[in-house]
Amino acid sequence: MSTREHEAELQSEQQHVSALYTRLDAERTRVRQRYAAALRSPIDTKDGGTLVQRDSEVRALAREIHRLDIADNGLCFGRLDASSGESSYIGRIGIFDADDDYEPLLIDWRAPAARPFYTATGANPENMRRRRQFHTRGRQVVEFVDEILGRPDGHERGGSGDAALLAAVNAPRGDGMRDIVATIQAEQDEIIRLDHPGVVVIEGGPGTGKTVVALHRVAYLLYTQRKRIEHHGVLVLGPNSAFLRHIGRVLPSLGETDVVFMTTGDLVPGLQVTAEDTPECAVAKGSLRMLDVLAAAIADRQRVPADPIPVELADVTVRIDTETAEWARQEARETGLPHNPARAKFVEILTYVLTERAIARIGRGWLTREDKQAWEDLRGDLTEELAENEAFTAAVDELWPILTPESLLSSLYTSPERLQAAGADPALLRAQGDAWTVADVPLLDDLIDLLGPDKPADDSAERLRRAEAQYAAGVLDMMVSREDLMSDEDHLLATDLLYAEDLAERFVERDTRELAERAAADRDWTYRHVVVDEAQELSEMEWRVLMRRCPSRSFTVVGDLAQRRSVAGATSWAAMLEPYVPGRWVYRSLTVNYRTPAEIMAVAAALLAEFAPDVAPPESVRATGVRPWARRVTEDELASAMKDFVDEEAGREGTSVVIGPPGRPGAVAPSETKGLEFDAVLVVEPERILADGPRGAAELYVALTRATQRLGVLHCGPLPRALRGLSGGVGE
């Protein structure tokens, strides 16, 4: 194609894209008008249905406005020309021609018709002749690149078909992860569109795009299975809050907002836990053996008295002895109810035995069982007296206390005797019982079910509604009785068209929170799909929590076993998943590194070969020609050298970070950078990172693979062997 032809073609494409934006603007105006009209729509009906309908319509239109607004950025990014001569434009959303039998003007990237844009190759063109990728700035088509399909040398003006991909991976990083909707690669697209109802495991080394692929898979599932998913939403679980902020705008940029982002420390509403345990404690708490410990800890609090407990009533003193308490305990346990609800059976048995004994003593000589009515009347009086007796209440609280997850676990951790009685690891002993760690969260979550509610179900809302209805009925009665205040027509409306229940219903407070907010605040909320990132770090107990949150077992699991730092984490995917989804999980791997240049990946691969020789490093898609470097400094020089790096990078476009061993001033720990990427990375004291704990090598591997452009290393001690090939490194 000549330069003149190319310019003419570019102008033609600009006209088409401009027409698409005109359609987008018109649709946005139409939806905004409908939104405004919905807000003004009447809601005053006797059954309250219009209010619910109005709220539903307003929410739906608000979501549509958001979808149209985000489509403004990169609306159309490509075109497919079929062998038959037909052309299709591919973009963020679908746009249709209402004047021409809804002919598609722009195909949503998730639609089946768009798939060849990502998967067609020279060897397998999928009935396509050409793939054209646009480079846009705002609404302007700046350039396009053509790839002729069906022949091996199929690149036209603008360079190779990988030009858009290389431009994206070489671009400076911003504050968060960007979507890859315009540059999805074939191996990624296969996973995104995978039709599997169970668990999909995506494993890949650093920079392979596994996280962003998982997020695009969520967007795809919401597109293809919206009715199944949208009312329950999707949970995305990440390793830390920095990571969640980093990925947080990907799904909104794809028009999807019904998503809850959490860490494992957030899984119990009201808790936001970030502290970590020692490796020994983490292993103990993460094991399923803790289920037996929790059950034993609860059983240990269901006690019988060593000596009889006297209970003084008005006319007699009765005693709770060991035999009676043992019978009550057995009956309560056999109900199968959680601990707190089962207490009612325990109290019931104690009350029965004590009242029987009291009646026998009080009625000696004048009352027999044949006098059933007198016997039952006396039993009723004694039952009420026991319920109000402080000694009886104190005894019940001692023998079968009401427990909360927090009180049980806290008292367990601070008592060597209770730990021993529960068969727990002595390493769990600590001075402050409620100094919660991330590993405590799944235990607290399990205890919610094991203990049950610590108070009777709150029916106050229903009682309030009935009271309001009763009040409203009184108002209506007064209105009807005061004929001097009402005409015949008013009387008809009041009695026939308005009811007390309706009047009360108008004042019921409705939950207007968005789905994500409601789901995050509700421990019993169940999701239709869950994404687990850095899944290799999750313990057996953490997997239990997640499986409860998603009864359908629809998961996208993202991880890299070679990067596992938690000693309680996964050593194999089968070990974690088979107990929950036997035969219902599939494994897919990503092998191409889109983040880390070949020069940096060579250094990381040398380290990987030392601690995980069976794991193949991902192959970098590019080289930058910039070699990573290492420099030895003294402890006194280190802070100044770190500052020099920060100052130098401040003058460049993009992002940078200093990564060092935990506690190093001016640096972040490797664990805090998991899943993140930066243009430039300075790794400080790698020798200390390597020596820090049993997974130090994995930590250093994470640190070395965060950079997209430049990597430097400052070391005070001997440089680790795998890093001695760095420019300026000293082979010590």
CA–CA distances in Å: residue 262 to residues 240, 532, 545, 589, 624: 8, 10, 13, 25, 36
CA–CA distances in Å: residue 730 to residues 610, 722, 725: 19, 12, 8
Q: How far apart are CA 439 and CA 509, in angstroms?
A: 37
State yes or no: pLDDT of 493 exceeds 50: no
Stretch 456-482: mean pLDDT: 54
A 10 A CB-CB count for 610 gives: 13
Task: Identify the residue with better confidence: 730 or 25.
Answer: 25
Question: Going by DSSP bridges, is the β-strand pair 585-590/592-593 parallel, antiparallel, or unpaired?
Answer: unpaired
Stretch 476-498: mean pLDDT: 46
Give residue 457's pLDDT. 59
State yes or no: pLDDT of 542 exceeds 50: yes
Per-residue pLDDT tens for 602-635? Answer: 999 999 999 999 999 999 999 999 999 999 999 9
Residue length of the chain: 732
The SS3 call for residue 90 is strand
Ranking 337-341, 377-381, 543-547 by mean pLDDT, the lowest is 377-381
The dihedral built from the CA positions of residue 472, 478, 479 and 481, taken in this order, carries a sign that is positive
Q: Among residues 325, 330, 334, 331, which one has the least CA distance to residue 354?
A: 325
Residues 6+ apart with CB under 8 A from 464: none
Stretch 178-197: mean pLDDT: 93
Please identify which residue in the block is written with the tokens 């965060």.
Answer: 706
Q: How far apart are CA 427 and CA 422, in angstroms?
A: 13
Q: How far apart are CA 179 and CA 186, in angstroms?
A: 16
Q: How far apart are CA 143 and CA 159, in angstroms?
A: 11
Q: How far apart are CA 564 and CA 490, in angstroms?
A: 74
Q: Among residues 280, 260, 262, 289, which one has the least CA distance to residue 443?
A: 289
Give residue 347's pLDDT. 97
Amino acid (1-letter code) at residue 358: A
Two tokens at 35?
């939104």
Q: How far apart are CA 130 and CA 278, in angstroms?
A: 57
Give residue 689's pLDDT. 96
Per-residue pLDDT tens for 507-540? Answer: 445 566 788 899 999 999 999 999 999 999 999 9
Residues 6+ apart with CB under 8 A from 335: 341, 342, 345
Give residue 492's pLDDT. 41
Stretch 218-233: mean pLDDT: 93
Task: Identify the residue with better confidence: 682 or 464.
Answer: 682
The SS3 call for residue 82 is strand
∠ CA 126-130-131, nearest 5°, is 90
CB distance 181 to 212 below 8 Å: no
A 10 A CB-CB count for 164 gives: 22
CA–CA distances in Å: residue 20 to residues 77, 113, 658: 12, 18, 44
pLDDT-derived band at 162 (thresholds 50, 70, 90) equals low
Two tokens at 157?
């003006």
Q: How far apart are CA 28 and CA 64, in angstroms?
A: 9
CB distance 323 to 330 below 8 Å: no
Give residue 632's pLDDT. 96
Per-residue pLDDT tens for 545-599? Answer: 999 999 999 999 999 999 998 999 999 999 999 999 999 999 999 999 999 999 9
The SS3 call for residue 91 is strand
Stretch 289-293: mean pLDDT: 98
Dihedrals phi, psi of 76, to nearest 5 degrees = -125, 125
CB distance 116 to 128 below 8 Å: yes
In sequence order, what DSSP letters do the residues of 617-649 get, joined into one string? PPEES---S---EEEE--HHHHHHHHHHHHHHH
State yes or no: pLDDT of 502 exceeds 70: no
Give residue 59's pLDDT. 83
Using a 10 angstrom Cβ sphere, with 0-12 exposed, 13-18 middle and 19 or more buried, the burial of residue 388 is: exposed
Two tokens at 600?
């940096």
Ranking 470-474, 533-537, 691-695 by mean pLDDT, the lowest is 470-474
pLDDT-derived band at 368 (thresholds 50, 70, 90) equals confident
State yes or no: pLDDT of 363 exceeds 80: yes
Please identify which residue in the block is written with the tokens 């009811």.
Answer: 499
State yes or no: pLDDT of 498 exceeds 60: no
Per-residue pLDDT tens for 379-424? Answer: 899 999 999 999 999 999 999 999 999 999 999 999 999 999 999 9
State yes or no: pLDDT of 202 exceeds 80: yes
In sequence order, what DSSP letters do the residues of 520-550 get, joined into one string? HT-TT---SEEEETTGGG--HHHHHHHHHH-
> pTM for the whole thing?
0.85
Q: How far apart are CA 564 and CA 554, in angstroms?
A: 23
Per-residue pLDDT tens for 2-20? Answer: 899 999 999 999 999 999 9
CA–CA distances in Å: residue 469 to residues 8, 258, 475, 478, 481: 73, 35, 10, 14, 18
Beta-ladder partners of 134 = 144
pLDDT-derived band at 199 (thresholds 50, 70, 90) equals very high
Average pLDDT over the chain, rounded to whole? 89
State yes or no: pLDDT of 480 exceeds 50: no
The SS3 call for residue 680 is strand
Stretch 141-160: mean pLDDT: 70
Give residue 725's pLDDT. 84
CB distance 487 to 522 below 8 Å: no
Element spanning 259, H or E:
strand 259-262
∠ CA 212-115-81, nearest 5°, is 130
Per-residue pLDDT tens for 418-464? Answer: 999 999 999 999 999 999 999 999 999 999 999 999 887 555 554 55
Beta-ladder partners of 199 = 555, 585
Q: Among residues 57, 55, 37, 60, which one has the least CA distance to residue 509?
A: 55
Per-residue pLDDT tens for 548-559? Answer: 999 999 999 999
Give percent of the chain with pLDDT exceeding 70. Answer: 88
Extract long-range pairs of 668-673: CB within 8 Å, 24+ residues apart.
669/699, 670/565, 670/699, 670/700, 670/702, 670/703, 671/239, 671/240, 671/565, 671/699, 671/702, 672/240, 672/242, 673/242, 673/702, 673/703, 673/706
